[in-house]
Amino acid sequence: MSGSVPSGAGAPRVRRNWLARAAGAAAISVPVTAVAATGTASAAALQPAAATNVRVLVKVNLYDHTAAAVAKKLVGDPYEYGGTSPAGFDCSGLTQYVYKHTGGGKSIQRTAEAQYLEFKRISKSAAQPGDLVFFHDTSSPASYVYHVGVYEGGNEVVAATTYGEGVQLQSFAWAGDTVTFGTITH
């Protein structure tokens, strides 16, 4: 969302349209001035007012964003085949741990392949930090999933890599079209 809120004679209608587009993007509370309304904003409900704070409901999946933050805190932990704790993680043990230890906790399957089958497949453009990135043998989404990590946005993932490297924040751009994205929260 870029640009500024328009001002001038046509500003009330333009401002409502601008706020309606902005409100469709996110579910966190964002203060907005010069508009009087509360709750979930809609273009018809917003009316100009003098310096009134408004809460516009913006759609962001807070669970996913919290999962992404939990994963980042584990960067540097060691790798251990079959590991499911900060004493040592393998890739799917890391994702399972992150989901279990994120507000409210969600139990997910143990292996990368089982997690892939459990999660709803989504496009990269629909993926949010905290969703999972699955690495396949080939570019076919039906091919075997051999690795998984927690999506951090862009081309970055937190994943338990291998002995000596442990949990890392890294680019997955090298994998090209052999990755898919999955969610259980949106």
Q: Is residue 76 part of a domain?
A: yes
Query: Per-block average pLDDT, block size 10, for the chain (186 residues)?
Result: 44 39 38 35 40 51 93 98 98 98 95 98 97 98 98 98 96 97 96
What pLDDT score was predicted for residue 31? 38
CATH of the domain at 78: 3.90.1720.10
Range of the domain at 81: 62-183
Q: Tell me: do 96 and 155 sit in the same domain.
A: yes
Query: In this structure, are 111 and 19 located in the same domain?
Result: no
**Phi/psi at 25 (5° precision):** -90, -30
In a domain, 33, yes or no: yes
Q: What per-residue confidence (pLDDT) applies to 40?
A: 36
Which residues of the chain form beta strands (DSSP E)? 29-32, 35-36, 47-48, 54-57, 84-85, 88-89, 120-122, 132-136, 145-153, 156-160, 167-171, 179-183
Answer yes or no: pTM beyond 0.75. Answer: no
Q: Please check whether residues 90 and 155 belong to one and the same domain.
A: yes
What pLDDT, on the 0 to 100 scale, is given for residue 61?
A: 78
Is there a domain that residue 42 lies in?
Answer: yes
Q: Does residue 2 lie within any of the structural domains? A: no
> Is the domain of 170 the same as that of 101?
yes
Residue type, 89: F
Question: CB-based burial of residue 21 (10 Å sphere; 0-12 exposed, 13-18 middle, 19+ buried)?
Answer: exposed
**Same-domain check for residues 74 and 36:** no
For residue 130, is it within any domain? yes
178/114 same-domain check: yes
Domain match, 87 and 171 both:
yes
Same domain, 110 and 145: yes
Question: Long-range contacts made by residues 45-50, C-beta under 8 angstroms, separation at least 24?
Answer: 46/15, 46/16, 46/19, 46/20, 47/12, 48/11, 48/12, 48/15
Query: How confident is the model at residue 60, as a pLDDT?
Result: 60
4: in domain: no
Residue 178 lies in a domain: yes
What is the DSSP secondary structure assignment for residue 77, as one 8-state letter? Answer: P
Q: Are 88 and 79 contacting, i.e. CB atoms less than 8 angstroms apart?
A: yes
Counting the structural domains of the chain, the total is 2
Both 102 and 155 in one domain: the answer is yes
Whether 69 and 154 map to the same domain: the answer is yes
